Structures are given as C-alpha cells and as structure tokens.
Amino acid sequence: MANGTDIQALLFDVFGTVVDWRGGVAREARSFLDRYAPQLDAYEFADAWRSKYGPSMEEVRSGRRPFVRLDVLHYENLSQVLQEYRIDTAAIPQQELDALNLAWHRLDPWPDSVQGLGRLKQRFMIAPMSNGHIRLMMDIAKRAGLPWDAILGSEVVRAYKPAPQAYLGAVEVLGLQPDQICMVAAHNGDLAAARRCGLKTAFIPRPTEHGPTQTSNLRAEQDWDYVARDMNDLASQLGCPA
C-alpha cells in the first residue's frame, strides 16, 4: 500500500464520484417531463440520457470527430432520447430544451464530497479530471461548494477519458511525475486507464450512482493504491487532519 507521501496532486472523476448525476438529472427533468411526458419516470429518463454518454464520446476518442464540449454531446444525446420516447421536440420551445440540457450543471455532491475535498485540499492540489468541460465543472463547483484548486479535464487536455492523452495531458499540466498524481474515481475502468499511464489510483465505491439496483463498480477490481469508503475516509488514509 502506498503511503501517500509522494503524492502531490489528486485528480477526481466527477460524475458519479463527486456528484450524484442520476438524482440531479432526474430532479431537473421532472418538471420538464410533467409537461411533455408525465408518464415517464425521471430516473429512467436520466438513465436513458446517460446511456448515450459513452458512445457519443467514443466518436471523439476514435478520432472520427474533433473535440467538442460535453454540452454539445449532451444536447445531441437529449435530442435522441426525446425522439426515442416519441416526445416531439419541434413542439417544445428551444429555451426549455437548452435549460434541460444544463441539468448537468446543477448536480448535488454526495454528502461526504465537500468536507472530504476540503480536507484533501489542505495537503494536496485537487482538481477535477472529468470529461465535463470547464464551464460545466465551474457551475457544479460554485453551486455545490467544491473547493477545487484548478479545473482540469477534457477541455484542457482536448481528450476524453479513458484515452491516455487525457491522463498524460494532466500530468504535463501539473508538471509532476505520473506517480506523484493519484486518480480518484468510483469506476474501475477510469482507474485502470490512469494506472496504465503511471498514475496512482484511489477507488471510492458509489453503489447507488446508477440507482438501487446497480451491479457495476460495486467493488475494487484491482489492487488500487487506495480503496476508501468515501472522500472523508480517503482524506484520513492520506493523512489529512479532520
């Protein structure tokens, strides 16, 4: 087990690891659905929207499409989801669609995130390493009180995780060696990709990210450098005072 003394910076996955995207999107979508599809479950809607997230980024990761901000992909995915639910977007004012698309800017943190990050910040540089763009991360952080030192991620490195360029770009920006940086995520795949780039890894399970019946990422699938119950536990393991 690494002792954390060499780590200087922590990079965080955000959607699912720091904030509850499913609850937030469902909350934000509810009033929209009440008007246009009252029979639809808002959590199911959030899941359907999110299910298009990975495939839409894959277009960029594969090089078939140049880098675009996540708002763009979210909007395209929203349009598809509405179509699949046979909701007629032509009958919906554009501003309502735009407002719904910004649901991802208004996500609540998990209960331990703000306090844990505050503790970690005392000892380490902390930054999101999300596929969300800068403005999206800034809006979430200001609303939720996430005390980032800087906002890194896809827009800074012009690449989407888990592409190696994403992690290596962050290493270059931080001016550190890869093993002086620890990637923190609730997703084994994110950590596996970070480890392949030489970063240290910390797993925090978020067993309800996908709702009560979640089956993926319930436990560490490799011997990550750290496995913590939540952000506060990670802070304790890394020697940060309470």
Which residues of this chain interact with a copy of itself, rule CB under 8 A?
71, 125, 133-135, 137-138, 141-142, 148-152, 155-156, 173-175
- Tell me: cis bond preceding 109? Omega within 30 of 0 counts: no
> Could you tell me the smallest distance in angstroms from the CB atom of residue 137 to a copy of itself?
7
How near is the Cβ of 52 to a copy of itself at its closest, in Å?
A: 22
Minimum CB distance to a copy of itself, residue 26 (Å): 24
Q: How many whole angstroms separate alpha carbon 50 and alpha carbon 63? A: 21
Q: Pseudo-torsion of CA 226, 227, 233, 235, nearest 10°?
A: 20
> Do residues 199 and 167 touch, judged by C-beta distance below 8 A?
yes
In the complex, the smallest distance separating the C-beta of residue 157 from a copy of itself, rounded to whole angstroms, is: 10
Toward a copy of itself, which CB reaches closer, 101 or 237?
Answer: 101
DSSP 103: G
Q: Which is nearer to a copy of itself, 6 or 172 (CB)?
A: 172
Phi-psi region of 63 (alpha: psi -120 to 50; beta: other; left: phi over 0): left
Residue with Cβ nearer a copy of itself (146 or 186): 146
Query: Quick one: 27 or 69, whose CB is closer to a copy of itself?
Result: 69
